[in-house]
């Protein structure tokens, strides 16, 4: 799964990197500990225009009775996108990219009481392009104001990632951004072929402090490497860890 990530790159730089044509006025604060049910930057196409805008993390299907449904839909398994009613329509029509600087994953180490968090990023320091789906919810009567939401697609881990977890977000290379975002592309076999683990050589990971377990901690120090034997065991923060 993917339950926490870093989003600290300024929106103008994100827009330039992803070829965005329009950027929403709303600006999110840099955050080194982004958690579900908050707004996250999303690259999507609407009306033929590529946009960067904050969207609620936790997909709320158009048929949902209330927003709480989204709390269970922060991730979508690639294996069931074409089957589950919550994801089938957005997979066909509303695909997006969630741009991040890196993400966290937790690993249960033998003999340790708490899971050890790791920070994963690209070896070249470039932004990661998470494959995502977005949807519009208008309330239980389907007549209210538009409420956009997003989920991150996950798949099997690559060899490097498998050392700490069996799944990871799907990362899209630049040559797949255009067809993935294009709402006129409906070839699910083609789109499904994009959903493969990123090459192991693309990513690097390092152990970080358990301070990241607490969503109230949001500073850049969270991505600093710590020795495995000296990782901070923050007893009060563990409840928030994925």
| Catalytic-labelled residue, pool 45, 53, 96, 105 | 105
2 is catalytic: yes
Beta bridge partners of 225: 208
- Active-site annotation holder among 2, 45, 53, 121: 2
Helix, coil or strand: residue 96: strand
Distance CA 203, CA 169 (A): 12
**184 Cβ contact partners less than 8 Å away, ≥ 6 residues apart:** none
Tokens standing for residue 178 = 């255009």
**Half-sphere exposure of residue 197: CA atoms within 13 angstroms, side-chain side:** 16
Please count the CA atoms within 13 angstroms of the CA of 185 that sit on its side-chain side: 18
96 is catalytic: no
Positions marked active-site: 2, 105
């Amino acid at each position: 799964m993917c339950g926490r990530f870093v989003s600290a790159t300024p929106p103008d730089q994100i827009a330039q990197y992803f070829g965005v044509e329009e950027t929403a006025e709303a600006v999110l604060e840099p955050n080194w500990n982004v958690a579900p049910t908050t707004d996250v930057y999303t690259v999507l196409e609407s009306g033929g225009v590529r946009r960067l805008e904050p969207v609620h993390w936790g997909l709320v299907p158009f048929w949902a009775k209330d927003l709480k449904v989204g709390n269970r839909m922060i991730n979508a398994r690639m294996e069931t996108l074409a089957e589950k009613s919550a994801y089938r329509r957005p997979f066909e029509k509303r695909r997006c990219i969630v741009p991040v600087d890196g993400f966290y994953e937790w690993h249960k180490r033998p003999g340790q009481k708490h899971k050890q968090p790791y920070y994963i990023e690209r070896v070249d320091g470039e932004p990661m392009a998470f494959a995502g789906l977005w949807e519009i919810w208008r309330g239980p009567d389907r007549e209210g104001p538009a409420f956009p939401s997003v989920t991150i697609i996950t798949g099997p881990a690559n060899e490097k990632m498998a050392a700490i977890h069996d799944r990871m977000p799907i990362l899209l290379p630049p040559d797949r951004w255009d067809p993935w975002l294009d709402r006129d592309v409906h070839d699910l076999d083609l789109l499904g072929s994009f959903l493969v683990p990123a090459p192991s050589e693309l990513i690097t990971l390092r152990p970080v402090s358990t301070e990241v377990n607490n969503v109230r901690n949001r500073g850049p120090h969270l991505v600093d490497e710590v020795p495995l034997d000296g990782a901070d065991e923050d007893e009060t923060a563990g409840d928030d860890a994925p």
